[in-house]
Structure 1
Amino acid sequence: MKKIWNWYYGKASIRKKLIISYLILVILPILVLGMYSYYVSKKNLIRQTKHTMESNVDAISYSLQNDIQRETDNIKYLSYNAKLRGSLENGLKNRNALVKEMNDSVEPTFWYFIASDDKIKGIEIYSPYVKQSLGSFLKPLEGKEKRSWFRKNQNNFKTEWSVKDDRIYATRMILDSATSSTAIGYMRLEVFADEFLDGLFQSSYLNNGILLVDANGKKITERTIKDREINKNIYQHIEENREERIYETKKYILATSEKMDNGWKLYYYIDKSEISEQIREIMATTVLVMGLCLAVALIMMSVISKILSTRILQLKHGAEEISRGNFELKIEQGYSDEIGVVAESFREMCMKINQMMQDMYQLGLEKRKEELKALQAMMNPHFLYNCLSSIKWKAIRSDQDDIAEITGLLATFYRTALNGGRQITIVQNELENIKAYLQIQLKSHENNFDVEYQLDEAGGECQMPNFLLQPIVENAICHGADLCESERGKIKIEYIYGEEFLEFHVYNNGPKVVGEELERILNTPGKGYGIYNIRERIRMYYDEECGLYSSTTDEGMVCFSIKIRKEIENK
């Protein structure tokens, strides 16, 4: 964790810091909201499922209760038929009258009810007042006393519903017409089980299971679900005789109807795994929405972080440029916020540093000019010329021609070198200075090297810095021509007048100098006005296209070249 913090705090770029910070600030609320949304959606789904189950079980039980009530009313109505009750009481005494009454009045009424109610399968009347079956409905009670339905209705004046071998019956006692307290028979109404219970299975909700039990808790009909363990748990719940309207476990939800008039009860249950499918859909939707929110947030974070970090990166790049020495860099943002204030301060700092460097550079130039003036002042030109002239004429009068020639060359050399104390001369004077200097060197070296000139005639009046070529020629003699062993030394002076530039080339056939050594000579400060000072003086007066260069020709000669413009830019 500490490494991660150190990386984040000290090494990560500002844009990465912004993106990570935004991610933390955005992801946490999205995760919390997403989890809360999922929890609330799941809770609402469970609540809605329970409500739907309650509504479904109420609707189904209500429909079944209506059917039960209708058939109960039918059997009650038929059992109170006065003609039926009167003829039954006299059945043993007047069998023919009973038969006639059944055929003329009772049976047509029964057939009417059967025909008009598609759920009634049949009607049977059991009576102790008949010894054999009469017509379609009347049967003797003898032999039926041990049946369960008889025992259940023997002392019960209400309609009792029962199920036997998947057949559903409604049974009611027929009372005498005189006192309505003595049983004269029993009426049994059978309904079509499939049609009667069809309403239980017409609709399905989440592959629900249904269980219909009678007043004793015995199964009448059911529709099970795939999970057998849940089906078994429902039976255990019924055996425990719990009264909860809605009962929920980890695996299932159970809704129970109110008891119907005949004591029947309906159980409506679903497997929670069915709800899980919907919950997974909710989760998938939640994750999708969270993902879309994160994607949009990432895009916005990337754009915003780029906008914010761009200005900071500009400052960073500016600092890197300044570290490389570029103090002319302009950082202009034009904003008044904290970054804008820093950028403006940065720009002002660069301007001040650049101005200070220019001031120091100018001070250095002034110092060198003063040093040169001091040097020239030490050598009083008039005194020097007068002395050299006196020596020359004395030498001529004494027939010392060599001394006279050398003295004349020295006078020419110092006249062109000192240039009246001016820093600027013309090309013609500079070349005369070099010629005089080389003649002096030839005399002092007893002509042990050759000199060759290749000079353009044009451009003699062009201005150039004074005393620019002499240090290069001196270097060519001392480190070139004087060191030749296998051949005679040679110095070549070349002047080229170009369209934009003046070029001076000084060749020598001395020992070869490799590229690194040439660069060291050019870039290393030395004493006096050496090679390095020439380069610095050229930089003072000209732009970057001008300068001092070194090379080696195909013939093996070392060449130092000066390239300057026809006109001096900074006089």
Structure 2
Amino acid sequence: MFRHWSLRKKFIFVFFVLITLPTILFGSLIYYQATDVFKDQAIENINARLEKNNENLLENLRTIENISSFMIYDESFRTFFTTPEEDVIVAREAENDIKGFFTFQIMSNEYIDSIKLINENGDVLNFGNPVRGSELSLRREAVANEGEPVWSNTYELYSDWSGSHHVISLTRIINDINHISEPIGMARIRLDEEQLYNRIEVDARQQGNFFVLAKNGEVVLHPNREFAGELYPEQDVIDLVVHHNKKNSVYETDGEKFLIVKQSIPGTNWISVIMVNQDDVVQSLYNIRSLIVYMVIILAILGVIAFIGFYLWHIKPILALTEQTKQLEKGNFSAKVNVNSKDEIGRLGTRFNQMVVTIQKYIDREYKLKIKQKESELKALQSQIDPHFLYNTLDMIRWTARMENAMETSKLIERLSKMFRMNLNKGRMWVTLREELLYIENYLELQRSRMGERLKYCIYYDEQIKDTKIMKQLLQPVVENSILHGFKDLSGTGEIYIRCYLFGKNILIDVIDNGAGFAASDTDQIRDGFALENIQERLNLATGEDSEVKQKSVEKGAWVQIKIPLYDIMEGNKKESGENK
């Protein structure tokens, strides 16, 4: 079915079904796949951020725990925790060493707010920010853990330097290294909540909030300082973080959806959380999806432009050429295609126009040739001589001459009979070169029987062109002109030399005589020119303007050269079949 469609229908089908529709389908597929990919990528980025923040937090917590562990093994700390009150000098030396150590730690870790040491005698040693506040519950919890570090939630203290602020503290009972179950003192290291958060969350410009909740719902770390040490204001978030096992969950409030990603922090009762508005997560995705939509729309617009352009510049000229071909088929030889380009279609239109002109030229030529032929036939009818009757009569006379032993007369009559037979030639205009030369040979033999030794001739032709078709009786007017006019006043022997040979894609026929040459008088010049012009006109009608009859320069006599385009036997047969129809 597709093969029988018009070119316009095929083009529309190819454009919309094989180009436009796949473009839309693939664009939609990419659109939705990109949505899933970018969502997964956004979640991966959030998880990576949470992992990184947890690593930072754990690193800082381990640093503080290592400081507290150092107190168990260091000689200065053990001296402070175990020296009696009366041994003041030893205690002071230990305090100086401890002071240097803590000064270095506070300077190196700016998130350390203050440090408090209590020995078994009840002596207290404070370093860093001087603070006040209730911390009794932390001591009881530390005692209950028997030397394990205890991390508190965020709580508020008052400082003489900076006023009220929130801290997180590690409290630990220091046991004797030699008697591991015997406590010798207590250490508390307080961390500034704001400084610690800033140290953990390196890039606060990222989407959503990172914060840490205790398992009781209290806020341990949060970018909003007002939340520190308080219950998280939204109970649903506390339930999702504390009581649900899913690592990722979605929380919806006031028409907005939030993606919650959580992870427990080892060694504490804390849970780190990142809470991101889903609109923020997929905002970049929306931009990408919009870009894909715009690309599909632009491709569709470009496709329509390409469709219109291709139709106007390629399909429409072909349709116009088809229409003009139909007009030519109906016999309208005024058919013509407007050519506006030089591409293959433009060249096709140009050649179509040239073909129409050539066909018209051939038709005109064939028409004129037929008219000439009809005129010749009319003249033959007017002469009242039936060629068949004349041929049969000559044949009868030839046999009568033979019966009377007039052999020479019989030969002459036979030659004349052959000439009439060639004239008849079944009404055909075209003969082979060999047949034409045989006709000239018979004509020259008849003339030589009249002129005797005063006429000599020589005929030469290439073997390869002997079967080439030419117009019949093409050479007879030239040869006759040489005998009747060239040899008229010649005192010696008249010689005619005829040669036919191949030259390029043409056949050249030379007729050369040693007669008087072309006439000098006005009357004879007109006569000779008319004979050559008549041959030229016949050739032009038959073969086009490529044929040529011209006079060549020669010192004595005349030289006429006829140039004919080469037609092989098949071409001649085509012409003959055209005549006989």
TM-score (norm 2): 0.47
TM-score (norm 1): 0.48
